Structure 1
Amino acid sequence: MKRILCCILFFLITASSRAASGGYADQNGRLNKSTAHADRKEGTLDGNRISTLFYNYGSIGDWTNRRVESGVYPKGANGHSYFAEFTPVIGAEVVDRLGQRRHIFSDGASSSGVADGRPTGGFYAFEPLPGYAEENQPYIAISDALDDNQDGKPDSWPWRWPDKKSWYDPSTGIPYWNGQYGAFIRADQETYYRMNDYYNDEFKFLPSKIDTTIRGLGLEIAVRGYQWAHPAAEDLIIWTYWVTNNSTTNYTKMVFGMYGDADVGDDGDQKDDDAYFNKTEDIVYQWDHDNKGAWGGPPAYFGFRYLESPGDPLNGKDDDEDGLVDESQADGIDNDGDWNPILDDVGLDGLAPGMIGYPGPDPDGTEGNGKPDADYVLGVAEPNFEMSDNSESDQLGLTSFTAAAYPGIVMDNDESVWLQTVPGNFSEIMQTVDLTFLYATAYFQLPPLGDPNNQRKFAIALVLGEDYDDLLRNAKTMQKIYDADYNFAKPPEKPTVTAVAGDRQVTLYWDKRAEELTRDPIYGKDFEGYMIFRSTDAGFTESYVITNAYGNKIFDKPIAQFDKLDSLEGPHPIGLDGLQLNMGSNTGLRYTWTDTSVQNGQTYYYAVCSYDQGYDEDFYSRGISEIPNLLPITPSVCAKRIRTNVLGEVIALDINTVKAVPNAPAAGYVAPTTLSTLVTNPTIRHTQGAGTGYIEVTPLDPMKIIDQTEYRILFDDTTFAKSSNPHTLFSVLNNTVQQKRFVADTTAVALDHRHLYRPSIVVKDPATGAVMQNGVDYTIREESGAIAAVSGGRMQSGVTYEISYQYFPVYASTYVAGEEMNPFFDGLKIVVVDHPLAPDTLRTSLTRAGWFRGNALKQAAEKYKVPYDAGRAVCNYAGYISTYIAGGVKTPVPYDYHVVVFDQTVTKAYNNKPANFLVFNATTGDSVKFVFQDVNPAGVLSDQDIIVPLVNIGGRYRGTWQVKFWAPTDSLVLNITTHTWVDTLGIPHIKRDTTVVATIPRAIHPKAGDVFNLSITKPFTSSDQFTFTSHAPYIDKQKAGSDSALNRIAVVPNPYVVTAAWEPQHVFKSGRGERKIDFIHLPAQCTIKIFTVRGYLVATLEHDSLINDGSESWNLLSKDGMEIAYGVYIYHVDAPGIGSKIGKFGVIK
């Protein structure tokens, strides 16, 4: 802010003098300078084990203000800073307006003592271009940014990219990622911004004849950062810089370079670093001379490499000695001939069928046209062509390298920088000092705006390793990534995870986006499973314990793992440095897991990480992969990311990471119960249809349950009835009508929910009450939940309208066989079990096939007006039910039948046999015709008789089911017992007794009043509907105020001895750090007062928490902010309307 004010003040003081002296361009530049400075934003790359702060004006790290966030490795509470700052340095030789030869450089340095500062404040440096990040927030666009405001767009992304305005989803208006290789994310984490040097007005040089307000060299730089979470690439970051000459000046002596200040051993230990330039691996690496960092432990090795140098396609030389002279990324030629029409003809958006967000063929016709395409204005090309192919650049290589003790290299002397970057200048590296470096490529030509060769690219890589050998292995991976055009093994998408903390347990649940959205661009659909990691620190250092063959830690040990049911289990056949990833044990996929090995009060961090199958030569033949003949590769696991501040406090969680503190709920807490169709009084009501399956709705996340909300469960058995794979779908409809006001636009506007229920949608103009007409005034996309105004209709862009609707939180689910795979909604989990059309042996005794007894028989007797005697024995014939088959034709029907026995002949069967029973369709209530295969005696239902109910189909009666009756055979069960006895002569004797101990009852024949239930399980159909009402947890005040509840209030630990296990890791260099005790089992609202034994009030705590958390922490500081003394303390808990509790605790030194 001070810099901005200085710039504004300087402008106000000098504006008139500059205008009078013809310096209007300088005046404009100053105004723009202050504006551009206000566009400065920050970001954090932490997609693997390296975490670093960076800025959108070129600086990587910040030695002056944010050192503890710069180059942290490994990320998390146990990490340390390994560099102060890196920045690109770009310059050229020019002749200014006075005819003087000048060397103008711009950079992004922000550290004091290095940056090229203005005398009046600010810098002669790069400044960011606006529009490449959301304006109303402070962060640079990151590919995996969170959507905290729930508008559908990652919070740091702009709604429209200035250079790719058409890259958005037309159905929702949500932008795609602005990737170098297309509208998708290539690495696990990427960042993108643009900057220019237009405000570097240090010298009297005007680079552009078109726009005289542009200063510096008129250069615009597109900056991208890449990180991968794969174990082979988790210790490196790659940065690329695309430099465009937007001026009218043809520069013949350009310099691209990079300044770096690495400090191995962290701040305070940077003066004893050694370094070496390994020419074989083309890497500079640095290490601590005494192998002892500022914290006392051994530091890692740090390396940096000029990964890609700018090419010169205009000098007539084969600069990179690859056999190609002046290959170019802007000549329209596939110089190295590696563009593949089968794999690479994907169009300029880079999206191929099956990829996430694929919108269909490119509207510009570039997809599938049989030739490689590139757009030099947008700066995009198809794979392996032009700017998407690293090998199509005639790279000059590294031409200078300067090493000096800090502050031997500074950016505020352009002439000094020019001399340090003269080609051939390779200085000796000083040892055991605070080292800084400047490495560069020079000289080359950069043509002006309008020339196809006015762009150049260079890239650098920062890499760390536990030791020298580990560093070199990581450097080789870095080279592989570059050779593959920054493509590397891509893990599955991350699942979205939620944690529910309970009493001595933590439950995790997650969605299926990792399975549904994952398609590797090379290996296809290769998702395999989930690993769960747990730690008490945000960096997951506790789980990072698995080492490779060299003893280097490279992977985390999961606490739980769930994988697909396939032939891939155990150690993967392809290893990484002697380590083979465990692929699981064919547990089957799950989406919830409860950790019961936790301690109340302790903070836990969890990550649910998806992993893929990797690849081996036989994976296609084994049916593991859908693609043959791919390169074998180790599996990839998605990243886990938790951002912390300098105090170690968590400031951001990724979608697959969570923080949880288990605790007992508040006193009087009443948990919600499972809703079911199976209980005597079903809490899920079957309001329509005859399906016999069952449904359970389980509370998974109680605090998200919306109290007293009614839901409807609907089924659909017709949509896929005639397909090759007929199946039933079900949906859950939230009956509550949602209302939302929105500002109309012809581009789709996202609503709050997806899967809208079309009959419920009403759109009004709230000002007039006029109802808008679908298809005339607006279009609605029910599935994506978006609405757009129709041009020419009554709905006007920019005007506020109101929409009301209902929606499906679960839509068209195919999981009806008891799978726990349905989407979770409103804190609930639903399981549906459909039944086949078959004889009923699955349900309760009241409904399954057999003779009615008890209350069921009484109800049937009343219905059919037959005698009922509660004391008599009911028929015990077995009834075997099967499908009736006639001429090979089966006609099963979804009907139950009741066979009602009378004491005389009451009808004749369809085959003219007299019968002492009637058959009723229990589903419809009608009596039905039947076939009676009578054995003996005639006309009476007896042993071996068969009954076949009939149904009229097309005027013909057909058999449906049949039941054959079997009478039990009378028998005895004998138990033979043996005992011994001794007579008076001492001779032993054996006696065997035969005793009747049980009897299988004799046959009880059917008699008047007996009713056989020919029960059929019936699948759900479109006519079935269920309803249920959700119930949120609540506090029972009577229960909370009971003596037993109040007596549970306690302090833990008690006594407190020096420290507690759940206290966070101490991150300060001095002082004791945070201490705390917990009061537990508290009412939801109460006041806690803490006294000394003499009655002095030490502290007062106000507890007001959610009802699922009955704990309150105290940091052992008095009301005056002082640490308390050791001793015994009294506490008093007062909960108005509930009760109070007095107790004591001790603090022991």
Structure 2
Amino acid sequence: MKKLTSFAALLSGLLFLTGLWGQGRPYEGPDDPAGDIAAEREGYMTGNRVFLYFRNTTELSDWPREDVSRWPNTYEGTKMLDGVALLVGAKVYIKGDGDATTVDTIPTTDLLDIYTDPNTHTLYYLQTSYREEMDRDPTGTVEWGFYPVFGYFNENGEYPAMSNKPDSWPVGGWPAAGFTKKWPGEWDGRFGRGVRYADLETYFVVNDAQDQEYLGPEDFVRYYPRPGRYIGDLKPDVTIQRGKPWGGLGIRVETRGFQWNNPQARDAIFWEYTIANVSDYDIRDAAFGYWVDNAIGGDGANDELGFFDTQIDLAYSWDVNGLGAAGLTPGTMGFAYLESPGLPYDGIDNDEDGITDEKRDNVAQTLVGPTDGYSDLQQFLDVYKLTEEDLHEHWDADEDQDWEDGEDINGDGIYQISEYAGDDVGLDGVAPGDINYTGPDEGEGNHKPDFVEGVGSEPNFAWTDVSESDMVGLTSFRLFAVPSHSSDQHWFRGDESMWELIGIDSLEDYSGSITNLIEVFASGPFPLYQGQTERISMSELHSYDQLPGLNSEDHTAPALFELKRIVQVIYEKDYRFAQPPRMPTLTATEGDGEVILTWDDIADTKTRDPFVGNVNDFEGYKVYRSTDKKMSDPEIITDLYGTPTYKLPIYQCDLKDDIFGFTDFGLVNGVGYNLGTETGITHHFIDRSVQNGRTYYYAVVAYDYGAPDIGPGIAPSENNVVIELDENENVIGYGKNVAIVVPHPPAAGYIPPEIVPEDNPDLIGSGTYTAEILARGSLKPNHRYRLTFGLDTVATLSNYAHGLSYTNDSFTVFDEMDSSVVYHEDRDRYVGENIVYDDTLDYYALNRNGVATDVFDGIRLELDLPVETPIFDYAHSGWVVGSGDIHVTPTVRESNLLPWRYAIIFSSDPAAYTGQITNRSNVRDENDHRLSYTELLPGASVDFYVQNQSFVDSSGNYELMDIMVHDVNRNGVYDRFIDRVLVGPLTTNGRWGGTAFIIDFTNIDTLNYPRPGDQYQVDFKRPFWVTDTLRFTVHATDSVDESSLNDEMDRIKVVPNPYIATNAMEPALANASLNQRRRLIFTHIPAQCTIKIFTVSGVLVDEIQVDNPPDNGLVHWDLLTRENLEIAAGMYLYHVKSWRTGKEKLGKFAVIK
């Protein structure tokens, strides 16, 4: 920094700078009450492999707790952080009157006062929230720092607002401008109403109103940031310091944490702080920063080294010997400094992007030319990677030209789904086509970027655009050993000493010894005007890098540097990155030696990823299984460094879309992502490789196909798997795509539910079906279902309604309780190979090799369809009544267009039927040869008639088929044993419709001619017809057969027997206490019974009251006595008594420790 040695020069500079003030204005965002300790909540960031505890006070992690930070979040992970604090520092200047007996309270930003008036006072502030060394009130019970504000979370809940926990959101909506509310029931996203670009996000607000430093009765220099405002004036039930003046600096901080589970970003977590001056005054000198207390490897982390790379603004630390707590290998931890406050009024291009004094709170007023507004055009093009041809007319406040207007093609001022809305989507950030779109909102469709503080901003503009700020950059970095607690030097209660760390330019390399390190990053000093909002953001990064490189002179960390590159991409794209498909909901049903998994179709039907143009980029599903709560079992696919990187699924299915195999883009340390093998999509899986009594953790994840054309390529993203544990590794929550299951045998005497099909003798179709119960827990007892089919016509006969060849190209299942559709497949959406396409005849058909549905209401259907299109059925054609000699020949083409069930009924009347058709044109034989005029004998009479028994006419009678005699000997007379009878329909215009089949009695014994009353059936195998309806009912009584119960109790046994030290059914643990829960199981027990366990001498050890669901015949015992003591090794007896029948069973087992 330059010093002005001339007082005249100093005075001149002060007069110029003084002119810059007056930029302040009243804050226009939410009017929050004072923060309160009663609003404090704890949360966990679990959106990827970085596990981090936080409080909604801005404090991250904790010490000495162990369950607060872990990377990776597996049993191989270690603690990495003891704490992170947000630092907001400032110097406030108070005009003095020179009288030490009076109280001075008038703030000043006049540089003449500050630098020339000896009576001006300087007050130092450091606002934060941390576990130790905070400023406190005289009683020592109230910390003077940041406290969370009510209104930004569900006050009746236990968590801060989390994007994946709707019950953590404020019930009445989110605070907006002033005292208004917005968007009840939807997430208040950084980008708008319900908009979530990260896999997991948290959001909370704090202020510093409770800081009463310099406001005590003993203080003669006081700063009242909001005169006339008091703690409790907006929320009288505040629990601390009610009635005291609003203190501190008048700072409000919105905090957002982001995590992405994309393989390229899943080892990073982002924190963004939006800091506003809500006071009545400008703050002349402010600085924002972070305090990071490393804990690389966990407790005893006193062997850390660190380095700061000034080229990429990345500080990183590592364990020198690579040995963490419990002998685990800790990774490298980095902190990337991303966003810093802006200096929008100094006339300097501070961030060197070719734009001077850009702002994120200015309003778009004027359209300007492509090259207007740039102090250095070439520098702007270089920084934003543009060419001059990329520039266009733009709004003055959209300095970086990335806001995109929409295309209102029909000019009605409203974007239709078919029209491109661009960024012109209004203040709520929701566009037509989004799931939660309810119609145009303020600013939508006005072809102008919009922003209203406290309400919202359109994408790529103002608050949502990180580039629209003239950032000052990182000005201070210190890396030092944890300070001594014997003084307040470089601790938060030492406000002035902390200003020395964050308010003075100083980028220092660490040259100290190996120890437990503190990192401090900061930007400042800069002015924070009244009502002004500035940001600071950072990212915590983790990697496994080789120790020799880290400990070398260059401190190389290639994996961490690559992650920093991805982190920078996410930040520069305004915290927008590839999202996984929407998360499916998993349902698991335990069986005997099996687990049935089913999930919904929201991922493959409702996904829209704005990062790749708002398209549905869903590609497939994977199922993971583990026997440990951290899902470590499947994580066996390593990168080229040997680090576990991907999980190996036990099941995978993907779309048939020519996207398959391993990716060659977005590689994670050299390893691609498996996109599948073109199996087709299903929504269920049966795992039959499980052991009864063992606990299994399942997760289904949906994944997309990545973004190969964005930069060097973005790897496919999949849903995160979250199982929340407490410090004792008890499960306290898990994601909706996770299920925890213990397979078990059925209870003694259990009668399972069944599906009862209904007979339908009037079916036209030839197929059959089987209904199978897969997920008992999803069954709807006593519900009746109907199955119907859709048709695709292959070919038709003219002028005859039933002259067609067809296929089934769809089917639908209805729940007849409310006639709702519960399942449907068609050519646009089907499972696996259920529907096939014939490219020769251009038709779709249900697969005759078998159709198996997904699971609906706990049921799966299997359809057996013998044909795709109709064919003659020789097996089911023949005599129904009587017998005799007859020849029936189908035609090669026209039979398939008339594929019905026919009855040839013989009569004693020689003229039982007389042919109706006189026109002899276009009559064909069995080989599709056209018969000549002289070969046909119209109007002949025969002693039989033919019914089409598949259809009835308007009178309810079967349709009669017409006949035409093939006069073989051309004598003009019907000769029964020489001529042939062609059977076909009469068309609506009185012509021959086509030949269904031909009857003849040639070369037969006249004695074997059919007799009156004989009936011969001619039939075809057909797909189902539109009128075919198959019905079935679910009978699920969950009843018990008492006789079977008594018999099956003889099968009761203890597993394992003997019990030796441990067994696979006991849950896996990896905590420091190694307090594994012991267990053995009783199998095949009644669902309701009492089990008593005795020593061989008859002493009662424990008693178990079993009240299982009716189907569960398994119970665990923890090997503890009634006094909760561990049992001794030895032989034990058990006694089981059924509550229902009183049946008893005795047995024994051994325990060997």
For the aligned pair, the TM-score class normalised by the smaller chain equals 0.7 to 0.9
Q: Distance in 1 between matches of 2:1037 and 2:660?
A: 41
Equivalent residues in 2 for 1:163-562, closer than 5 Å? 163=176, 168=183, 174-180=185-191, 183-204=194-215, 205-209=223-227, 211=229, 213-266=245-298, 268-331=299-362, 332=364, 333-341=397-405, 343-360=422-439, 362-367=440-445, 369-383=446-460, 385-408=461-484, 409-426=490-507, 429=510, 430-449=512-531, 454-467=532-545, 468-523=557-612, 524-562=615-653
Distance 1:1132 1:323, change over 3 A: same
Residue 1080 of structure 1 deviates from its aligned partner by: 0.8
Contact 2:263 2:716 in 1 (8 A): no
Give 2:914's aligned residue: 908
Corresponding residue for residue 66 of structure 2: 68
Q: Percent identity?
A: 30
The question of 1:918 aligning with 2:938 is answered no
Contact residue 877 and residue 968 of structure 1 kept, 8 A = no
Deviation at 1:115, TM superposition (A): 6.8
Report the Cα offset of residue 162 of structure 1. 2.0
Partner of 1:1088: 1091
Structure 1 residues 1082 and 522: CA distance shift in structure 2, 3 A = same
- Give the 3 Å change call, closer, same or farther, for CA 851–116 of structure 1 in structure 2: same
Three-state SS of the structure 2 residue aligned to 1:481 is helix
- Contact 2:750 2:1045 (8 Å CA) reproduced: no
**For the Cα contact (< 8 Å) 1:303–1:462, is it kept in 2?**
yes
Q: What secondary structure does 1:249 align onto? A: coil
Distance 1:1108 1:203, change over 3 A: farther
Contact 1:969 1:1003 in 2 (8 A): no
Q: TM-score, normalised by structure 2?
A: 0.76
2:332 touches 2:543 (CA, 8 Å); kept in 1?
Answer: yes
Q: Aligned to 1:565, what secondary structure does the other structure show? A: coil
CA distance in 2 between partners of 1:426 and 1:932 (Å): 104
Counterpart CA distance in 1 for 2:325 and 2:693 is 32
Deviation at 1:471, TM superposition (A): 2.2
- Do 1:233 and 1:477's aligned partners in 2 also have CA atoms closer than 8 Å? yes
Give structure 1 stretches of 5+ with no counterpart.
1-30, 146-152, 618-628, 676-682, 719-724, 736-756, 758-805, 858-867, 886-891, 971-1000
Kept after mapping to 2: 8 A contact 1:116/1:411 = no
SS, match of residue 1122 in structure 1: coil
Shift of 1:897: 3.4
What are the residue-to-residue correspondences of 1:775-794 with 2, within 5 Å?
none
Looking at structure 2, the residues matched to 705 and 1138 of structure 1 have their Cα atoms a distance apart, in angstroms, of 31
CA change 1:351–1:265 in 2 (3 A) is same
Length-normalised TM-score, structure 1: 0.76
1:630 Cα deviation after fit: 8.6
The C-alpha deviation readout for 1:248-285, integer Å capped at 9, x for no partner, is 2111111111122120111x212222222222332111
Structure 2: how far apart are the matches of 1:729 and 1:1020? 11
Q: Which residue of 2 aligns with 1:800?
A: none
CA distance, structure 1, for counterparts of residue 251 and residue 1123 of structure 2: 57
Change in Cα spacing, 1:249 to 1:840, as seen in structure 2 (3 Å) is same
Corresponding letter in the other structure for 1:920: Q
Q: 1:118–1:272: structure 2 CA closer, same or farther, 3 Å change rule?
A: farther
Distance in 1 (CA, whole Å) between partners of 2:1066 and 2:627 is 10
Task: Report if the CA contact (8 A) 1:692-1:1018 is conserved.
Answer: yes
Code of the aligned partner of 1:605: Y
Matched, 1:1133 2:1130: no
Q: How does 1:756-795 map to 2 (within 5 A)?
A: none
Shift of 1:539: 1.6
Please name the residue that 1:1116 is paired with: 1119
Give the Å deviation of 1:1032: 1.6
User: For the residues of structure 1 that align with 2:1101 and 2:719, how far apart are their CA atoms?
Assistant: 49
Aligned counterpart in structure 2 of residue 108 of structure 1, from 129, 154, 160: 129
Question: Is contact 1:909–1:931 with CA below 8 Å preserved after alignment?
Answer: yes
Alignment of 1:719-734 (within 5 A): 730=812, 732-734=814-816
Work out the CA distance in 2 between the residues paired with 1:135 and 1:960.
77
How far apart in 2 are the matches of 1:969 and 1:78? 87
CA distance in 2, matches of 1:122, 1:940: 116
Equivalent residue for 1:127?
Answer: 147
Matched, 1:634 2:715: yes
CA 1:956–1:42 in structure 2 vs 1: closer, same or farther (change >3 Å)?
farther
* Residues 929-980 of structure 1 deviation map (CA, whole Å, 9 limit, x = unaligned): 4132435597577799454443564x7566266124589999xxxxxxxxxx
- Give the Å deviation of 1:598: 1.3
Q: Which amino acid aligns with 1:962?
A: A
Q: Cα distance 1:162–1:1067, how it changes in 2: closer, same or farther (>3 A)?
A: same
> Matched residues in 2 for 1:1094 and 1:664: separation?
31
CA distance 1:834–1:312, change in 2 (3 Å): farther
Secondary structure of 2:1035's aligned partner? coil
Aligned CA RMSD, in angstroms, stands at: 3.6
Mean Cα deviation higher: 726-735 or 549-558: 726-735
The equivalent of 2:112 in structure 1 is none
Q: In the alignment, residue 621 of structure 2 is paired with which amino acid?
A: Y
Pair 82,543 (structure 1): closer, same or farther in 2 beyond 3 Å? same
Q: Name the CA shift for 1:632/1:275 in 2 (closer, same or farther; >3 Å).
A: closer
Letter in 1 for 2:780: I
Contact 2:789–2:1024 (CA under 8 A) maintained in structure 1: no
Displacement of 1:825 after TM fit?
4.2
Q: Which amino acid aligns with 1:483?
A: E
Hey, what does 1:571 align to over in structure 2?
Answer: 662
- The reply to whether residue 897 of structure 1 matches residue 897 of structure 2 is no
Provide the C-alpha distance between the structure 1 equivalents of 2:36 and 2:761, rounded to a whole number of angstroms: 64
Instruction: Decide whether the 8 Å contact of 1:942 with 1:1006 is kept in 2.
Output: no
Describe the SS at the equivalent of 1:478: helix
The answer to whether the 8 A contact 1:949-1:960 is kept is: yes
Contact kept, 8 Å, 1:896 with 1:1014, in 2: the verdict is: yes
Secondary structure, in 3 states, of the residue corresponding to 2:1109?
A: coil
Matched residues in 2 for 1:896 and 1:132: separation? 70
How far, CA to CA, are the matches of 1:821 and 1:349 in structure 2? 43
**CA–CA separation in structure 2 for the residues paired with 1:425 and 1:653:** 45
Letter in 2 for 1:105: L
For residues 129 and 463 of structure 1, the distance between their equivalents in structure 2, rounded to whole angstroms, comes to 29
State the AA in 2 paired with 1:596.
Answer: R
Q: 1:734 offset after TM fit, Å?
A: 4.8
Cα distance between partner residues in 2 of 1:1125 and 1:943: 98
1:323: how far off?
2.1
C-alpha displacement of 1:78: 4.1
Q: Which amino acid aligns with 1:906?
A: A
Question: What is the CA-CA distance between 1:79 and the residue it aligns to?
Answer: 3.2
Q: Which residue of 2 aligns with 1:767?
A: none
Going from structure 1 to structure 2, the CA distance change for 1:728 and 1:580 (only over 3 Å counts) comes to closer
1:181-215 C-alpha deviation (Å, 9 max, x unpaired): 56411111111122222222223221124645532
What is residue 921 of structure 2 aligned with on the other side?
A: none
